[in-house]
Amino acid sequence: MDILFVGVLVALATHGSCMYSSSDDVVELTPSNFNNLVLNSDEVWLVEFYAPWCGHCQSLAGDWKKAATALKGVVKVGAVNADDHQSLGGQYGVKGFPTIKVFGLDKKSPTDYQGPRQASGIVDAALNAASSMAKQRLSGKRGSGGSSGGGGGSGKKADPADVIELTDSNFQELVINSEDIWLVEFFAPWCGHCKNLAPQWAQAATDLKGKVKLGAVDSTVHTVISSRYGIRGYPTIKYFPGGKKDGEAQEYDGGRTASDIVSWANQKAAENVPPPDVYEITSQKVLSDNCDDRQLCIVSILPHILDCQSQCRNKYIKALKAVGEHFKAKMWGWVWAEAGAQPALEEGLGIGGFGYPAMAAINSRKMKYALLRGSFAEQGIKDFLRDLSYGRGSTNPITGDKLPSIEARDPWDGKDGELPQEEDIDLSDVELDDLDEPSKDEL
């Protein structure tokens, strides 16, 4: 019985962590390959945006695999784990799971699939989309996709000067000793693939300016640095995370269009964002710094130190930091205050009526907030914030045109709370014998 129980747990864990495998005919799509495989494709694509924890997605998985196998060689079938790749889901307005998009002739304007969730219905819809695309082409229409690639889609004109020329003499200082993230192309002037990449590389450099630096090394001239990184073919692209004084580099494994490069670099930049700190609200500036220019500001009200001593409080702060690490790419602000320390804030957010600890997520740009109704535990907070990031959950307007006022306070000293000492009453001067004894009537 124990072995069976363990087997069930393992099966559930495996099922929850990975919906599709390499043995399926469903293509795994990510921000680094989506543009190249889907948007720059001449084929019809059916793409499912799913979350591993979603019950409806788990129910659909079997039919999605069957449809992918039936459509092999006819229509492409892919899947995006939108829980891991929220930016890609957000790009297509995904607010619930599963969401299925049909990418036909005009890849920039996919349509929503609203048909049945059985393999037969999915196949019928795919074949109809393929037939429609063929008729559109027959009438002379041309799509927005195609193997020719394209720019990064930022609207900025590429500036070749944004690609930094790197040499044997400046590589150490500019790249290895830098805290910046770098993508470096090693090329040869005579290489045809390098010439094809050049305009895409310049466009990506322009689009990523201020976030990720793009450089280029002529490996036929600067042989020392090229040899150090084992360059054998052209172009070779290396990724330097920043802050790695040993010059550690990783292979770039994304596509060769500007949009592919930008998407890949943005994902890496998000991975390298340091986890946010959780600041105690001790002044108006603390609240403003963490809320004014952020998409969301997560405000926690923790129990009073006399109700929850240092070990208890630190446990809550640790959980907040763990959730902050999970959502670090969002660049949200994270703050906390002791219960009763900021009454105007609690009243303005309606946060005190459900006991402590409590939490509100503030969008100061829209002057709205949402309250955590579930468990103030790591998973409960993750579920709450994940729903908000997908546009789910109820929100409330903040009264007025600015955040509630904050009272200046000294920061918590990290120690346990102590009850105030009672004032000692000196009875040494009281003569008890002088007190009149009560009369019989008074008794």
Give the model's confidence band at 112: pLDDT under 50 very low, under 70 low, under 90 confident, else very high.
confident
Distances (CA, A) of 292 to 273, 286, 298, 377, 402: 20, 10, 12, 26, 10
pLDDT of residue 136: 83
Find, among 70, 94, 75, the residue nearest to 84 by Cα: 94
**What tokens appear for 290 in the block?**
């963490």
User: Which residue in this structure is represented by tokens 């000067």?
Assistant: 161
Where does residue 27 rank: exposed (0-12), middle (13-18), buried (19+ CB within 10 A)?
middle
Find, among 114, 117, 83, 120, the residue nearest to 101 by Cα: 114
Determine the average pLDDT of the residues in 383-409. Answer: 86
Among the CATH numbers 3.30.300.20, 3.40.50.150, 3.40.30.10, 3.30.479.30, which is that of 19-138?
3.40.30.10
Distance between CA 180 and CA 269 in Å, rounded? Answer: 10
Higher pLDDT, 187 or 328: 187
pLDDT of residue 435: 55
Reported as a single tens digit per residue, the pLDDT across 121-134 is: 899 889 988 988 88
Q: Are strands 279-280 and 250-251 parallel, antiparallel or unpaired?
A: unpaired
Question: Catalytic residue numbers?
Answer: 54, 57, 191, 194
Please state the separation of Cα 224 from the chain's center in Å.
38
Please state the separation of Cα 371 from the chain's center in Å.
20
Distance between CA 370 and CA 351 in Å, rounded? Answer: 10
Give the model's confidence band at 155: pLDDT under 50 very low, under 70 low, under 90 confident, else very high.
low
Report the amino acid identity of residue 190.
W
The mean pLDDT of the chain is 85
Is 50 exceeded by the pLDDT of residue 11?
no
Strands (E), 170-212: 182-187
Reported as a single tens digit per residue, the pLDDT across 243-289 is: 777 788 999 988 888 888 988 888 888 777 778 899 999 999 999 99
Sign of CA dihedral 70, 71, 74, 76: negative
pLDDT of residue 16: 42
pLDDT of residue 132: 86
Distance between CA 408 and CA 406 in Å, rounded? Answer: 6
pLDDT of residue 166: 97
Is 90 exceeded by the pLDDT of residue 92?
no
Distances (CA, A) of 69 to 26, 79, 176, 277: 8, 14, 47, 47
Find, among 293, 337, 313, 370, the residue nearest to 346 by Cα: 337
Among the CATH numbers 3.40.50.720, 3.40.30.10, 3.30.380.10, 3.40.640.10, which is that of 279-397?
3.40.30.10
Distances (CA, A) of 218 to 189, 215, 235, 413: 7, 10, 10, 56
pLDDT of residue 151: 42
Q: Say if CB 106 and CB 3 are below 8 A apart.
A: no
Three-state DSSP string of 207-237: HCCCCCEEEEEECCCCHHHHHHCCCCCCCEE
Q: Where are the domains of the chain?
A: 19-138, 160-271, 279-397
| Fold match, 19-138 / 279-397 | yes
> 333 φ, ψ to 5°?
-95, 145
The CATH code of the domain at 160-271 is 3.40.30.10
